[in-house]
Amino acid sequence: MQEVMQIRKYDHARQAEVFNCDEPRVDWHDQTLWLVRQKRDKAAWGIPEWERLRESASQIKADTLSHLHEYLLQFEQNAKENGVVVHWAETGEEHNEIVHAIIARHGVKRIVKSKSMLTEECHLNGYLAEHGIKVVDTDLGEHIVQLAKELPSHIVLPCIHWKREEIGELFHKHFGTPEGVSDPETLVHAARVHLRDVFLSSRVALTGVNFAVAETGEIVICTNEGNADLGVQLANVHIASMGIEKLIPRRKDLGIFLRLLARSATGQPITTYSSHYKRPDKGREMHIVLVDNGRSERLGSDDFRSALKCIRCGACFNTCPVYRRSGGHSYHSVIAGPIGSILAPAWDIHRNSDLPFASTLCGSCTNVCPVKIDIHNQLYKWRQRIVKEGQVSKKKKLGMRSLALVLSYTLIISIVGLMARYIMRVLPFVLNNRLNPWYRRREMPDPPRQSFTRWYELNRKG
Amino acid sequence: MRSRENILDRVKAHQPSSTVEERSVPHLIFDNRVEAFKSVLTQIGGTVIELKSIDTLSEFLCDSFGELARIISPQLDPLSSGKHKGGRCIPPVAVLRGRLGVAESGSVWLTEDNMMERSLPFVCEHLVLVLESDSIVSNLAEAYAKIGDSDYEFGTFIAGPSKTADIEQSLVLGAHGPKSLTVCLV
């Protein structure tokens, strides 16, 4: 492997360290997200059948994946019969070309877009900008990060890393709100007024897709702000981009997924709007772009297939002790958090080889996942693959080898243990210094007086 | 068309064999669906009013929103003016009929044939939905059982006013869509 690995630009641990310089801010970030996790718990516990719902959703998605070929054909046929134009894109680039061609045909220079992680994955905004088309992100959080020329740091709460005072400053600059105003109500109102004009004058609207129903050819889009609906209903052309894994077999399956989605995401019983788009309005166009971009490859992997079940609720972010304390941008990937860490290595194993290590493997992500993806197992499996493919630094490789050696032989582990206990007691500064990453921002525990083996020998009864 | 074939071929080659057995889930049932609906919708920022009869609707709207000229509705003949169509003026108040209500999520299902124009429920400043109490079901599974395979063009569940918590998780009502939602039960 190239030496570049040693000084890589994208490194979660290093970026997290930068994020951690401002300790009060990290605490605030951590607590804000934990609050969302608690809301999720409260909502979930209000549903006696919650665990069975999760199981059922997981099964429906498993069924979808094992019949994806049939469901895709069924969906395409029904959508076409509904008057929708269906496009297929093998890669992100092809997706961008298709979207651009539709926009260009209508001679439009500016479009509105509601939240779509897929278009982030395809880097659509940049592509369209290169072709002279401006994309206005209409979800408030996405709009804020767009004004700041940043990427979302969370898939559901895009600007969770921003403080109200900073947003106030940003809005002062862009919308002319009075300086020093940071009251959320005033700020939201300013954005509303500004974006209303944009909505009313946009002829092409782009959206993501939460669910696509094979049986009926309809797509379902969920928002709280109503921005997807406003965009689509006021425009002449609706382009919906979706990964091929967004399918569900039947309309009635929505009765399971819509019960899980918002509760898992924010603790709401349901999003304010759950809109079912079946046919375009009279005289208008509706396009659906089905995107593969590596999904059909992942489908063939027994280890990583189930990540395709993801409904993008973000629950795994909010519960993750590493995400909460390192911030979304340290993941340097369009989807951060635990789910992003198992998706991103498949997109680029070299660039994203650090992400599966951005976890304690505590398994909390798996426990809250509404479709029961075994996220922590996949993080572990990615680590194994990454090491096998030589995508880790020499330092880490050496460390792991040494640890493997120590842990493989009883004699070595007892000698090392003895030495460590002695050093920690007599010469604590040998371990308690800045060179030891475990010492940074932590207090080291008091050394145990004896090894566990010894303790067990002394305390075993009978 | 190459891409389509390539994707479909790869999917076919890679999709695993099915091992799924469907199990049914018992969904939450409420004894008093109307009360549950009122309680949930109120919690998420909506308002619920029980009208004695549909005849008192105009009176209620006048009391709540002032002069009726600001109101657009297919329910309130002859008030349903054509002003909204094409003109893209923003109607202050829209009054539409909901098809069914869902108690567990405080949501109301409506379809395009009750919207006058599809943008109306989203573009108006205040939304009023008229809903028959008898049409309230316990949960979404029951709602979809009722919706069945009915052939709408566009349908949506609306649960409360448009809202956002994107600024430091502070809830603000009236993000892009209506600033208030009132459900009038009849």
Does the pLDDT of residue A6 top 90, yes or no?
no
What percent of chain B is modeled with pLDDT above 90?
Answer: 69
- Of the candidates A329, A30, A12, the one whose C-alpha atom is nearest the C-alpha of residue A158 is A329
Token pair of A46, please?
């209000």
pLDDT confidence of residue B84: 44
CA distance B101 to B38: 10
Nearest Cα of chain A lies from the Cα of B155 at a distance, in angstroms, of 5
CA distance A198 to A143: 12
SS3 A170: helix
Put simply, whether A45 touches B (Cβ < 8 Å) is: no
Put simply, whether B30 touches A (Cβ < 8 Å) is: no
Q: What is the pTM of this model?
A: 0.93
Put simply, whether A314 touches B (Cβ < 8 Å) is: no
pLDDT digits (tens, 9 = 90+) for A129-156: 999 999 999 999 999 999 999 999 999 9
Put simply, whether B157 touches A (Cβ < 8 Å) is: yes
pLDDT digits (tens, 9 = 90+) for A212-255: 999 999 999 999 999 999 999 999 999 999 999 999 999 999 99
Token pair of A149, please?
């020329």
Helix (H) or strand (E) holding B182: strand B180-185
Given an 8 Å threshold on Cβ–Cβ distance, is B7 in contact with A305? no
Parallel/antiparallel/unpaired status of strands A219-223 and B71-72? unpaired
Strands across the sheet containing B126-131: B47-50, B180-185, B126-131, B93-97, B71-72
pLDDT digits (tens, 9 = 90+) for B95-125: 999 999 999 999 999 999 989 899 999 999 9
CA distance A199 to A26: 36
Does the pLDDT of residue A2 top 50, yes or no?
no
pLDDT confidence of residue B18: 78
How many other C-beta atoms lie within 10 A of the C-beta of residue B73?
Answer: 23
pLDDT confidence of residue A4: 37
Does the pLDDT of residue B86 top 60, yes or no?
no
Contacts by A76-80, CB closer than 8 A, 24 or more apart: A76/A217, A76/A290, A77/A217, A78/A214, A78/A215, A78/A216, A78/A217, A79/A217, A79/A218, A79/A288, A80/A217
Put simply, whether B180 touches A (Cβ < 8 Å) is: no
pLDDT confidence of residue A96: 98
Put simply, whether A34 touches B (Cβ < 8 Å) is: no
pLDDT confidence of residue A3: 37
Residue A48 is given by DSSP the state T
Given an 8 Å threshold on Cβ–Cβ distance, is A62 in contact with B19? yes
pLDDT digits (tens, 9 = 90+) for A327-359: 999 999 999 999 999 999 999 999 999 999 999
- φ, ψ of residue B51 to 5 degrees: the values are -90, 145
* Pair A250, A298: CB distance under 8 Å: no
Name the residue with higher pLDDT: B53 or B127.
B127
Token pair of A202, please?
């946009």
Residues in A closer than 8 angstroms to B152, CB to CB, are 276, 278
Nearest Cα of chain B lies from the Cα of A355 at a distance, in angstroms, of 26
Q: How far is CA A211 from CA A97, A136, A174, A204, in A?
A: 23, 23, 35, 21
pLDDT band of residue B78 (cuts 50, 70, 90) is very low
Window 119-148 of A: residues touching B by CB (8 A cutoff) are: 138-141, 144
Predicted-assembly ipTM surpassing the 0.90 threshold: yes
pLDDT digits (tens, 9 = 90+) for B31-67: 999 999 999 999 999 999 999 988 898 889 888 887 7
Put simply, whether B22 touches A (Cβ < 8 Å) is: yes
Residues in B closer than 8 angstroms to A307, CB to CB, are none
pLDDT band of residue A261 (cuts 50, 70, 90) is very high
Helix %, strand %, coil % of chain B (to 5): 30, 25, 45
What percent of chain B is modeled with pLDDT above 70?
Answer: 89
pLDDT digits (tens, 9 = 90+) for A15-53: 999 999 999 999 999 999 999 999 999 999 999 999 999
- Contacts of residue A302, Cβ cutoff 8 Å, sequence gap at least 6: B16
- φ, ψ of residue B60 to 5 degrees: the values are -60, -45
Put simply, whether A302 touches B (Cβ < 8 Å) is: yes
pLDDT digits (tens, 9 = 90+) for A352-378: 999 999 999 999 999 999 999 999 999
Residue keyed to tokens 């976890």: A359
Decide: residue A441, CB within 10 A, 0-12 exposed, 13-18 middle, 19+ buried.
exposed
CA distance B174 to A21: 36
Residue B56 is given by DSSP the state G
- Contacts of residue A289, Cβ cutoff 8 Å, sequence gap at least 6: A87, A88, A89, A95, A98, A99, A239, A240, A241, A242
Residue A201 is given by DSSP the state T
Does the pLDDT of residue A100 top 70, yes or no?
yes
- φ, ψ of residue B181 to 5 degrees: the values are -130, 125
Which of B105, B170, B175 lies nearest to residue A270, judging by beta carbons? B105
Find the mean pLDDT for residues A255-265: 97
Most confident segment among A393-407, B86-100, B156-170: B156-170
CA distance A383 to A253: 35
Given an 8 Å threshold on Cβ–Cβ distance, is A32 in contact with B169? yes
pLDDT digits (tens, 9 = 90+) for B22-32: 778 888 899 99
- Of the candidates A337, A343, A312, A344, the one whose C-alpha atom is nearest the C-alpha of residue A323 is A337
Residue keyed to tokens 């009635």: A252
CA distance A232 to A366: 35
Question: Chain A interface, mutation test: which of B15, B85, B152, B179, most A Cβ atoms within 10 Å?
Answer: B15
CA distance A200 to A234: 6
Residues in A closer than 8 angstroms to B117, CB to CB, are 233
Find the residue in A nearest to B138 (Cα): A255
| Residue A301 zone, left/alpha/beta (φ > 0; ψ -120 to 50; rest) | beta
Question: Chain B interface, mutation test: which of A272, A279, A281, A305, most B Cβ atoms within 10 Å?
Answer: A272
Given an 8 Å threshold on Cβ–Cβ distance, is B7 in contact with A292? yes
Which of B21, B104, B144 lies nearest to residue A269, judging by beta carbons? B104
Which DSSP string corresponds to B123-160?
HSSEEEEEE-GGGEESSHHHHHHHHTT---SEEEEE-S
CA distance B4 to A206: 21
CA dihedral sign of residues A317, A321, A322, A323:
positive
pLDDT digits (tens, 9 = 90+) for A103-119: 999 999 999 999 999 99
Name the residue with higher pLDDT: B72 or A281.
A281
> For residue B43, how many C-alpha atoms fall within 13 Å in the half-sphere facing its CB?
16
pLDDT confidence of residue B81: 43
Calculate the dihedral angle through the C-alpha atoms of A314, A320, A323, A324, rounding to the nearest 10 degrees. Answer: 100
pLDDT band of residue B90 (cuts 50, 70, 90) is confident
Which of A49, A65, A272 lies nearest to residue B25, judging by beta carbons? A49
Token pair of B124, please?
């108006």
Does the pLDDT of residue A302 top 50, yes or no?
yes
Given an 8 Å threshold on Cβ–Cβ distance, is A66 in contact with B20? yes
pLDDT confidence of residue B180: 96
Window 83-122 of A: residues touching B by CB (8 A cutoff) are: 88-90, 94
CA distance B13 to B24: 30
* Pair B166, A162: CB distance under 8 Å: no
pLDDT digits (tens, 9 = 90+) for A191-213: 999 999 999 999 999 999 999 99
Nearest Cα of chain B lies from the Cα of A165 at a distance, in angstroms, of 10
Nearest Cα of chain A lies from the Cα of B123 at a distance, in angstroms, of 7
